[in-house]
Structure 1
Amino acid sequence: MSLSAPEKTAFIVCRDGDAVPPALTGALAAIGNFDGVHRGHRSLIERAMQAGRPSAVVTFEPHPRLFFQPDKPHFCLTPEPVKLAILQRIGLTGVFIRRFDQALASLSAAAFVDLLASELKLSGVVVGHNFHFGRGREGTPAVMAELCRAKGLDCIVMPAIGEEGEPVSSSAIRSALEQGDIAKANKLLGYRWVVRSDVRHGDKRGRVLGYPTANMSLSADCRLRHGIYAVRAATAVGVFNGVASFGRRPTFDNGAPLLETFLFDFTGDLYDQMLSVEFVGFIRGEEKFESIEELIAQMDRDSVDAKRILRVDKTLSMID
């Protein structure tokens, strides 16, 4: 399944105000923000899928951190469309998306569990060992278990998932991406990190350099290290290997950050198409070159390095 062209399945998205359809009634649901849908998140999701009943995720948009700290930038690993595409690919029955606003933030722990039982019609929940919920984060996993018991709901608390002695977390993945450590980020995610955006018109400088690129603006809060990456991209006509630059183009204009992707063995027009680009490996940091000839020579070397990385990497793809 491609993130740019998801398969049509029975995957159900149930938002605030939607009636819970029969296919989701009585679901066992994993609860969390699931930014990144990383290996730790998937341990909860996979447990929910093992119960022989409808399986779902209860998640929140926007991320609660944006509600409580609206002036503080938040590097979102998987904006809602990407998160939903990954959850669909996993094989869940569906997802409940609750808008995180003042009304939800003000619910007591008991009222939140009542919402799960009465409004979402769940039969049980799966939560992580450090899950907190309810007004002022008053609810803990132990409180969740007690409140669920009173409502006749199952409650499964999952232990932490670790990597080399450190817990797998969205924060650790953000930190790795900020450092350009794609290998670590992808290892924690369990798949190649992917972004999705429309291809925009640029200054077409790449054509002059012999490297025409698909240009994409990522979120202003994206803190991916500026540099050159081996990538793969899903287009309307297939998936292609490539090399990409993310940054401000210091050799030319030092402008707003752009993701500029050159696809090997591709000819055609990608303007205004939705492109999914997954990051396979880091090649080098962004540099300023003294001449166009020097830049082109380096781009040639970058392409060779990208092809080498792409040949050997076996990390799970979410765009195939």
Structure 2
Amino acid sequence: MELIRGLHNLRDKHRDCVATIGNFDGVHLGHVQILSQVKAKAAELGLPSVVIIFEPQPREFFAGVNAPPRLTRFDEKVRLLRAEGIDRVLCLTFNSRLRSMSADAFVEELLLKGLNVKYFVVGDDFRFGCDRSGDYAMLKQAGDRHDFSVANTETYLIDGERVSSTRIREALMRADFVEAERLLGRPYRVTGRVQHGQKLGRQIGVPTANVRMHRFRCPLQGVYVVEASVGAQCWQGVCNVGMRPTVNGTQPVLEVHLFDFSGNLYGQLMQVKFLHFLRPEVKFSGLDSLKTQINIDKDSARAWLVQQGRVDRQSGSDLI
């Protein structure tokens, strides 16, 4: 799969395609329905399939730190789109210029000059252009004038409710991982590279693998039972997602203590699958109190794993 960053990187070889557009945060089952429609039409027409996404996402541009947390980091979203068999991802920088672009200019610069779209698939609530002035009816009219087809997708429902990133986010915030998995079509995971930290965990006898969140705001916060994998290897453990207030942390971190593990994971890509919520993140009086609580967390996690019949699992066969 080819990742194209920005309109300025489009070339003649990128013209003529079947495309769709959106945030695709989480790449959930509703998104998969849209992607299936795009791939089927692309195969029928003998054209590449293209997904157009934004970075930052529009709500992040407008709301800043008040925007809702993302389900997936950018690179994880790209991996999921690749796994769905999409040929190209075009990432547009959402900035003041794009925000102020009229709906007509959006069609002209992106769909016609940039991609020469032959078939365009949009969600049932898609709006575009300055002040969201463009809609499906406007796209249909533009398609009739410029000889490209526009298709609307039906809302994907589970239990009579629309599958959406918002619905999944709400499930995660209440730690309903079963519901999140139903809506995503896979367990909820966060992926990132293991980086060097302060090594405070090692000092108190509970070493952790740290994944820096950078600008990613995870919808989870607190301490969880998890399964973490690197390649085909999988370990159980406890994970803290948050700011680490006991050590005056200033940046969000995902840190995992792996049961029965010894070794070096620095620089490797780790997937963390969340299974069960243990407790909120708390500021303790010092490292001794923190160590005591972590040991309690470990015992609680092992007890839950035994109760669920998930002990001693070492296979990563079900991982993406």
Question: Does the residue aligned with 1:123 lie in a helix, a strand or coil?
Answer: strand
2:57 is aligned to 63
1:82 is aligned to 76
User: Taking structure 1 as the reference length, what is the TM-score of the superposition?
Assistant: 0.82
**d(CA) in 2 for partners of 1:245, 1:274:** 19
**d(CA) in 2 for partners of 1:293, 1:79:** 33
CA contact (8 A) 1:192 1:317 kept: no
1:218 aligns with 2:213: yes
2:298 is aligned to 299
Residues 244-264 of structure 1 show CA distances to partners (whole Å, capped at 9, x for unaligned) of 2224557x5464553221234
Question: Does the residue aligned with 2:151 lie in a helix, a strand or coil?
Answer: strand
**d(CA) in 1 for partners of 2:179, 2:121:** 27
Distance 1:161 1:187, change over 3 A: same
CA contact (8 A) 1:182 1:279 kept: no
Report the alpha carbon displacement of residue 182 of structure 1 after superposing the two structures with TM: 2.1
Question: Does the residue aligned with 2:64 lie in a helix, a strand or coil?
Answer: coil
CA contact (8 A) 2:232 2:317 kept: no
Report the alpha carbon displacement of residue 311 of structure 1 after superposing the two structures with TM: 3.8
Distance 1:60 1:291, change over 3 A: closer
Report the alpha carbon displacement of residue 226 of structure 1 after superposing the two structures with TM: 2.9
CA contact (8 A) 2:71 2:218 kept: no
CA contact (8 A) 2:127 2:136 kept: yes
**d(CA) in 2 for partners of 1:298, 1:311:** 17
CA contact (8 A) 1:12 1:94 kept: yes
1:144-293 to structure 2, matched below 5 A, reads: 144-207=139-202, 211-219=206-214, 222-235=217-230, 238-243=232-237, 244-247=239-242, 252-253=246-247, 255-256=249-250, 257-271=252-266, 273-286=267-280, 292=291
Report the alpha carbon displacement of residue 125 of structure 1 after superposing the two structures with TM: 0.7
1:111 is aligned to 105
1:42 aligns with 2:32: yes
- Unmatched segments (≥5 aa) in structure 2: none
Report the alpha carbon displacement of residue 278 of structure 1 after superposing the two structures with TM: 3.2
Residues 103-147 of structure 1 show CA distances to partners (whole Å, capped at 9, x for unaligned) of 222222222122212211221110011100111111111221221
Distance 1:176 1:91, change over 3 A: same
Code of the aligned partner of 1:49: K
CA contact (8 A) 1:73 1:221 kept: no
Question: Does the residue aligned with 2:233 lie in a helix, a strand or coil?
Answer: strand
Code of the aligned partner of 2:10: A
**d(CA) in 2 for partners of 1:160, 1:245:** 35
* Greater relative contact order (CA < 8 Å, ≥ 6 in sequence): 1
CA contact (8 A) 2:241 2:255 kept: yes
In terms of fraction of residues, the more helix-rich structure is 2
**d(CA) in 2 for partners of 1:249, 1:62:** 26
Query: Between the two proteins, what is the percent identity of the paired residues?
Result: 33
C-alpha RMSD over aligned residues: 3.0
User: Taking structure 2 as the reference length, what is the TM-score of the superposition?
Assistant: 0.82
Code of the aligned partner of 1:104: L
**d(CA) in 1 for partners of 2:317, 2:18:** 27
